[in-house]
Every structure is written in structure tokens, then in C-alpha cells.
Amino acid sequence: MAPTPLTDPTWWRHAAIYQIYVRSFADGNGDGIGDLRGVRDRLPYLKRLGVDAIWFTPWYDSPLKDGGYDVADYRRINPQFGEVEEAEALIREALDLGIRTIIDVVPNHVSDRHEWFRQALTAGPGSPERERFWFRDGRGENGERMPNEWPSSFSGDTWTRTTDPDGTPGQWYLHLFTPEQPDLNWNHPDVRREHEDVLKFWFDRGVGGVRIDSAALVVKDPALPEIDADRVYASGEHPNLDRDELHDIYRSWRAVADSYEGTRVLVGEIWLADLDRFALYLRPDELHTAFNFDFMNRPWRAQDLREAITGTLGAHAPVGAPSTWVLSNHDITRPVTRYGREDSSFDFAKKRFGTPTDLAVGTRRARAAALLTTALPGSLYLYQGDELGLPEVEDIPLERLDDPMHFRSGGVDPGRDGCRVPLPWSGTTAPFGFSPAGAASEPWLPQPAVFRSLTVEKQEQDPESMLSLYRRALHLRATESSLIGEEFAWVTAATDVVAFRRGDLVVVTNLGAEAVSLPEHSAILLSSSPLDGDLLPSDTTVWLRTRA
């Protein structure tokens, strides 16, 4: 018998994976915050959508200073979301529908509410408890200057000074993100052992894989030298990025994953410009896959997309790992908004309030991008709400913003809340079915009125909706033999066209301003927008069968 999706050991090489940001997916108890009960209720929706796995951003106990990426306890679920027993039930129910669960692990740091960090503050300088973190004396006559000037991933300083029991200033501790997220010292055996135990805890409960946040930032040079922005560091020698010691850590994690029956995948979030260094993490005894951010960040321009696809496939080929394709996530401006801008690329440093966009153009391009990415070989990631064509919500009242990227930028960066607004499921007024009828609390972020035309309920009735397009694309992706394998070849095309062949299928995307002629074909499987006879309009993707 052919393997089913749940018995195929290579399921991860071609999986369609749906990202769930729990707070904003579905509210099951009416408190305005998404929870695991809400996810369980919506599992049939995900089954109909056609995904193979769901990836949860952190669902652990957390003060939510950074959307859950400040983990206080990996063995508890955030009380706002539910309990461990409910997570176990969700994992089982999803598996019953043929859907695996992937969870997030954040090895670079923990919450300042984590037991270890509280112990470290109490124990004081020189204690074993502080060795699990990066506590250092300050520079200057009275230790008033930070130990170094490392840049932050969230703007602002990367060191915070503690206060001793007598009220005097004490040591400083390192945090590459917010002060509420102290960095761990991965030279300490406790840190390594604890994370391996966390993997076992969740693998024992049936999760199918782990996504590793900021996977290339974890190890630091113990000397904590300054970072020279103008220096080109030799491979593996940067003070806090892509250090060679990381590979031993992920080899040990792979050994843990491989000790379980069935394939438990490790997925790295790795932001590296050097594709050769990127590929090292995907060797057979390390991570299974890693996110491809190059493609996601590129502008809507044929040359850029061809370069990103070529570079990605080329980097993965030597290590035999599948490529991954993603258009957005819980950190990135949604495609419908991004692709409607004059500069349709993405860069955290460029996010600003008031950037104009053409949502009609953006939606047309997002539909075309959906079919382009869905047809590429490898695994596909879909962020919740993109299948509905939701725009970035850019008019959230300032007093409702929650993201630390906004506050740490001094209010310049609008932050990431715009792509985290709760989903619209039904109805014509907020909360659009996100919370149960009669809920006493409004959603934790306000939903715009435009959501009334984008609900799941409304789109399920429209065969031309974004949701219908994604459902058809994912169904064909799972059933067309040409799209299941890893065969890929470029097709010669005009400058503004991206075209490639997968078996007997040809995928063509027109990114130019003028319509172009379709290549010879025997059938049209799917198109992102209506065709004009034998012409492919601007900002449109089509899947063609090339033989009878």
C-alpha cells in the first residue's frame, strides 16, 4: 500500500503547513483572545483547506511581552489559551484528520519570569545560576556603561542593568530582543540539557515537529567582543550570528527527533545572506528544513523572483533538502498590502506609518503569488488569513498597539500588530465570528469594517474568492503527480515573465504591464485571474497542462 500522509516518512518534503497565531485565530471562550478550544473547533476548516500540518507560534505560559516569544514555562500552556491536556487533545484530533502539529521553540532566550532568571537575580554575581545567562559587570568607573554595544533585533539597547538587594546598581544582562527576554548562555550544559528535555516532553505528546526561532542567533562568543559593522567576518566567527558551535547543538536535537517513531521534523528560522552557510544547517544529521526568507522579501519583479528561486533551489540541492516557500508570517506585512506598494519588497527597517498601497493591485498580485509559490517544489507555508486575502490593518489606534517593535522604535515603526488582527469567520459586524455569539469581550485587537467582505462564510459562497483559489490550488498540489515530485526546469520566457515546468505542467506568471501569449497547452488547470483568450494578463499566474 502507498503510504498515507501520516505514515509517509518524507511527508515534510512536500507538506503544506498552515501557521496559527493562537491569539488571533479563533476565540472559543468569549474573552476576546484566541485559544486552543477555538482551534479545535476550526480543525474541519483546515482539513477542507487542504493542509498537511499546522505550526503554532508559542502557546506556552508567557507574560506575552513579545507575543509569546518570551517563554516562562515550556511545560505549561498559556492560561489564556488553555492547558496541556487541551493541547494533547488538539494534537490527537488533528492527527485524526491527517494533520500534524508543529510547535515553536525559542532557544535564544526565555522570559524574565522564567524560574531560572528569577533564581539568577536572587543568587547574585558570580553564582552558578547567573552562568545560564550573560550577566556582566558594566564598563566605566562605576560600571555605568553597557558591557558592549551589540545592536538589537528590536531597536534600543541590548543590555539592562539589575538592581542589587541594597538598592544599588548591579550587573548588566544581555537581551538581543526586549529586556523581558534575557539571552541564554548555550555554553552551559544545563541550557542544552533543558532544551533536549523540552523536545522530548512535546514529542512524547505527539507533535510532529519543531520550528526553531532565531536559530542562527543562539550561540555567542564568550568574550562578547564588539561587532564591527564594516568588517566581513570569516565563516562562523561573527560574535553572535551563525557561529560554528550551533551545528553541534542541532545535531543533538536531530538525534532526539530521530529517536522517535515516525519523522519528527526540525525547521529552522535562519536569516542568512550567505546561501552556502545557510545550507550547512540542512545537512542530513541537522535540520530537516529552514525558512526561505529571500523569496518572501523580494519585490514583485520577475528578475528578482527568478534569482530567489534559482538561488534557493541551488543552495538546497547539494544537501538534498527540500526548499521552503512562504509569502508572509506573523512578522511580515501581508501580501495584499505589500504587493500593492511602489516598493513591494520587505525590510523591517523600512516599515513606517502612512505608506500608501493599492489594495486592488496588491490583491491581484497576491493571487498570482499564491499560485506561483504553491507550484514550486518543496514545502509550502501559509500564514493564517492570507488564504482570505486579508490586508494589513494599518489604522489600529495607537493606544491599542501591543508590539514591542513599535515601542522600542520610539513610535516610528508601526510594528507587527497589523498582520495579527483576529480573523473574520462570519457575519457582517465585529467580531465577525472570531468570538462566540454574545461574547462579553471584544477582540484583543480591533477588526476593520472591510473584514465583512472577507469572512470565511462569505468566501465559501464565492467560487472566485481568494479562499476558493487556495483550496483548489492546495487540492491540485496534493493530487497532481507532476506537483508532488521535485522535478523543476525553467522555461524560456519574456523578461517580465516567470515560467517553469513541473512534469507535464507549465506554470507561467506575468509580472509585466502588458498581456503575453500563453505557451502551447492542452488544458488550463487553474489561473489566478480570468484569462483574455490566449493571452495571460498582467499580474496573473496560470497552470497549464502541456500534453493530452
| Residues identified as active-site | 213, 269
Helix axes 359-374 and 466-479, enclosed angle (nearest 10) = 10
d(CA 308, CA 148): 35
B/e letters for 169-199, b = 16+ CB within 10 Å, e = fewer, are: ebbbbbbbbbbbbbbbbbeeeebbebbeebb
Tell me whether strands 497-502 and 489-490 are parallel, antiparallel or unpaired: antiparallel
Helix (H) / strand (E) element for 297: namely helix 293-297
Decide: 26 and 75 in contact? Cβ < 8 Å: no
d(CA 231, CA 540): 43
d(CA 536, CA 307): 22
Question: Cβ of 137: how many Cβ atoms within 10 Å?
Answer: 11
Closest C-alpha among 34, 81, 20 to residue 431: 34
d(CA 403, CA 401): 6
| Environment class of 112 (CB within 10 Å of its CB; exposed 0-12, middle 13-18, buried 19+) | buried
Number of residues written out for the chain:
548
Helix (H) / strand (E) element for 118: namely helix 115-123
d(CA 123, CA 227): 30
Decide: 412 and 352 in contact? Cβ < 8 Å: yes
Decide: 415 and 406 in contact? Cβ < 8 Å: yes
Decide: 545 and 525 in contact? Cβ < 8 Å: yes
C-alpha cell at 481: 503527480
CA angle 151, 105, 237 (to 5 degrees): 40
Q: Tell me: cis bond preceding 431? Omega within 30 of 0 counts.
A: yes
Residue type, 45: Y
C-alpha cell at 285: 544529521
Q: Which residues contact 317 (CB under 8 A, 6 or more apart)?
A: none
d(CA 348, CA 409): 11
Phi, psi dihedrals of residue 159, rounded to the nearest 5°:
-130, 140
CA angle 39, 40, 43 (to 5 degrees): 85
d(CA 346, CA 416): 13
3-state secondary structure (DSSP) of residue 508: strand
Helix (H) / strand (E) element for 191: namely helix 189-203
